[in-house]
């Protein structure tokens, strides 16, 4: 028993999505599907995956995806039946196929532009609008019926019923009464999924997606009254797409203008918000009404984004202002300028600012500096080049904290030895990143980094206690964070049981 000739073989190793045409949708997929032709099992097609698209039904064979996979146009399906299965018999969906080859729509390739058109009733190419070349359609059914003998492969004359060479009966397509049974294909669902698949199949057959014209979005409404093919069609398509893009462009420009009007308003609003925020913060800081996270977030917002930028006394220095465009000198001048920005930050610190100006993450300094300059912004690379010069004119130094990749600019107050010393003074009271961050006026993440830096240093005064080691997590309340204790292991002498 063979597959009906109306099926088209496909290469099953290609993912199913790539086999679909433009405008064809994948509706359902089901593995563990076996095939029956008529009432007989098709032994070669017993383990595969069936995919249902809006136009076609695919069978992708699992053991031999290249040789045994095929697709079937849904337009050929006249009627379907559903069998729910009984005991060991799997549920099945029967498809009765029409033998009328005029319904058989096959994909075709446009002779002008080479676009592969999906099967359907569309009379013109979906890409260039050239009508279907008629001879191609007539040729398709003919070329498909090959009269090669299945036994000896001799190609016989189409009118013969038996092979001229070996007398074995020849396979005949479509019209013979003997083939009526082969026009029934059954899908047997060995691994379930039959109900949904069948429902999707019914829906696809009802929708008849292949009858609708393809690419409706390319079809301009006025094109229907004129000739819808040839160069004039291309021109009209072009014209309409141009006019739509003109419209969207002018709309976008209008939006932009409206935005620019609003921008000024937004800046004023931001300034207002910033001043209010700092006012609120200075009052709540004393009462401690705000949770810590909220207030630090607020201050970060106000500091980074919408606070008044530190101002620059002179105009920003650019490379063009330096004689002979001497880059080394320029970097030095920039360092001086940056130091004045730093000075500004350090003077401004006092009241609302929770961050410590003695320890600055580089990203933050870079943002502040560029805000102060306003024009001819400094790229990060130049910023990094300037920093070494800054070390020579201020007491600020740069280091990467511990094993993180965070670079900070710091005063001697935040050098590793002096941090260790301050930690030692707090001990034996256990430390947490939060408590240390509060006492040092730095963010919790920075505080965590500093603590682990101290922890990893030689002769460290601290050791950690992770909350993960708790038997009862969350007992006694409090935030779950690592605690730092005095280094109990230094000079420890065994004082337990000994033999």
Partner 1 sequence: MALSSHTTSTGFLLPSIHSAPPFFTKQPNPITNSTATEQWIRLISEYARFKRLFYLRIDDCEATGNDWDEILRNERINRRLLPTYLSYIIETMIEKGLAEYEPPKQTRSVILYWRAPEEWAEALHGWVVSTGRLNTIMTFYEITEPEIESPLSGIPLPLLRKCISILAKTNRSQIIAIPDGEGARFFARSTLQ
List of residues contacting partner 1 (CB under 8 A): 428, 452, 455-458, 460, 463-466, 468-472, 475, 483, 485-490, 492, 494-499
Contacting residues for 449 by C-beta, under 8 A, at least 6 apart: 401, 402, 404, 406
| Helix, coil or strand: residue 3 | coil
* Phi, psi for 23 (deg, rounded to 5): 90, -5
Alpha-carbon dihedral sign for residues 437, 441, 443, 446: negative
Give which of 414, 51, 42 is closest to 200, Cα–Cα. 51
We find the least distance from the C-beta atom of residue 402 to partner 1, in angstroms, to be 10
Nearer to partner 1 by Cβ, of 170 and 423: the residue is: 423
We find the least distance from the C-beta atom of residue 467 to partner 1, in angstroms, to be 9
CA dihedral 406, 411, 415, 419 (to 10 degrees): -100
Give the tokens for residue 420: 């260790």
Nearer to partner 1 by Cβ, of 7 and 452: the residue is: 452
Question: What count of other Cβ atoms lies within 10 Å of the Cβ of residue 3?
Answer: 18
Give which of 68, 34, 80, 72 is closest to 52, Cα–Cα. 72
We find the least distance from the C-beta atom of residue 329 to partner 1, in angstroms, to be 45
We find the least distance from the C-beta atom of residue 471 to partner 1, in angstroms, to be 5
Contacting residues for 76 by C-beta, under 8 A, at least 6 apart: 6, 97, 98, 103, 104
We find the least distance from the C-beta atom of residue 269 to partner 1, in angstroms, to be 47
We find the least distance from the C-beta atom of residue 497 to partner 1, in angstroms, to be 4
We find the least distance from the C-beta atom of residue 413 to partner 1, in angstroms, to be 24
Nearer to partner 1 by Cβ, of 396 and 451: the residue is: 451
Contacting residues for 53 by C-beta, under 8 A, at least 6 apart: 20, 24, 25, 26, 27, 204
Query: What is the rounded distance in angstroms from the CA atom of residue 126 to the CA atom of residue 116?
Result: 9
Nearer to partner 1 by Cβ, of 351 and 495: the residue is: 495
Instruction: Give CA 138 to chain center in angstroms.
Output: 46
Token pair 């016989």 is found at 156
Nearer to partner 1 by Cβ, of 292 and 465: the residue is: 465
Give the tokens for residue 170: 């020849």
Nearer to partner 1 by Cβ, of 27 and 431: the residue is: 431
Nearer to partner 1 by Cβ, of 320 and 495: the residue is: 495
Give which of 82, 57, 90 is closest to 189, Cα–Cα. 90
Length of the chain: 499
We find the least distance from the C-beta atom of residue 456 to partner 1, in angstroms, to be 5
Query: What is the rounded distance in angstroms from the CA atom of residue 142 to the CA atom of residue 283?
Result: 90
Nearer to partner 1 by Cβ, of 128 and 416: the residue is: 416
**Rg (the chain; Cα; Å):** 39
We find the least distance from the C-beta atom of residue 150 to partner 1, in angstroms, to be 58
Nearer to partner 1 by Cβ, of 320 and 499: the residue is: 499
């Amino acid at each position: 028993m063979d597959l009906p000739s109306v099926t088209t073989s496909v290469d099953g190793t290609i993912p199913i999505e790539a086999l679909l045409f433009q405008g064809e949708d994948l509706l359902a997929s089901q593995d563990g599907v076996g095939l029956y032709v008529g009432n007989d099992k098709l032994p070669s097609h017993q383990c595969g995956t069936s995919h249902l698209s809006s136009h076609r039904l695919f069978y992708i064979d699992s053991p031999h995806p290249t040789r045994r996979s095929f697709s079937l146009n849904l337009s050929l399906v006249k009627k379907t039946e559903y069998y729910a299965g009984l005991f060991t018999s799997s549920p099945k969906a029967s498809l009765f196929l029409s033998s009328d080859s005029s319904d058989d729509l096959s994909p075709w390739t446009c002779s002008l532009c080479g676009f592969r058109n999906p099967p359907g009733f569309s009379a013109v190419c979906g890409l260039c609008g050239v009508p279907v070349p008629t001879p191609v359609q007539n040729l398709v059914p003919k070329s498909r019926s090959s009269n090669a003998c299945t036994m000896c492969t001799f190609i016989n004359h189409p009118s013969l019923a038996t092979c001229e060479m070996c007398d074995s009966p020849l396979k005949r397509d479509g019209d013979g009464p003997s083939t009526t049974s082969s026009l029934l294909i059954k899908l047997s669902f060995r691994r379930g999924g039959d109900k949904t698949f069948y429902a999707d199949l019914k829906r696809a057959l009802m929708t008849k997606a292949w009858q609708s014209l393809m690419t409706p979005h390319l079809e301009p409404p006025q094109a229907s009254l004129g000739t819808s093919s040839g160069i004039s069609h291309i021109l009209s398509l072009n014209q309409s797409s141009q006019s739509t893009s003109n419209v969207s462009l002018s709309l976008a420009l209008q939006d932009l203008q409206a935005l620019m009007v609003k921008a000024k308003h937004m800046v004023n609003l931001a300034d207002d918000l910033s001043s209010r925020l700092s006012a609120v913060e200075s009052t709540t800081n004393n009462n401690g009404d705000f949770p810590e996270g909220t207030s630090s977030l607020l201050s970060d917002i106000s500091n980074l984004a919408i606070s008044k930028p530190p101002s620059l006394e002179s105009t920003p220095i650019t490379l063009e202002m330096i004689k002979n465009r001497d880059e080394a000198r320029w970097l030095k001048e920039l360092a001086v300028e940056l130091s004045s920005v730093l000075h500004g930050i350090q003077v401004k610190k006092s009241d609302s600012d929770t961050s410590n100006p003695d320890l600055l993450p580089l990203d933050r300094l870079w943002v502040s500096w560029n805000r102060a300059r306003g024009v001819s912004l400094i790229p990060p690379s130049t910023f990094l080049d300037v920093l070494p010069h800054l070390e020579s004119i201020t007491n600020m130094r740069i280091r990467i904290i511990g094993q993180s990749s965070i670079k900070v600019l710091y005063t001697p107050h935040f050098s590793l030895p002096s941090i260790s010393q301050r930690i030692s003074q707090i001990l034996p009271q256990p430390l947490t990143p939060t408590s240390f961050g509060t006492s040092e006026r730095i963010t919790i993440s920075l505080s965590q980094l500093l603590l682990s830096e101290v922890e990893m240093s030689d002769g460290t005064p601290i050791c950690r206690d992770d909350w993960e080691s708790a038997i009862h997590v969350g007992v006694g309340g409090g935030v779950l964070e690592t605690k730092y204790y005095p280094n109990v292991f230094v000079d420890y002498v065994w004082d337990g049981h000994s033999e």
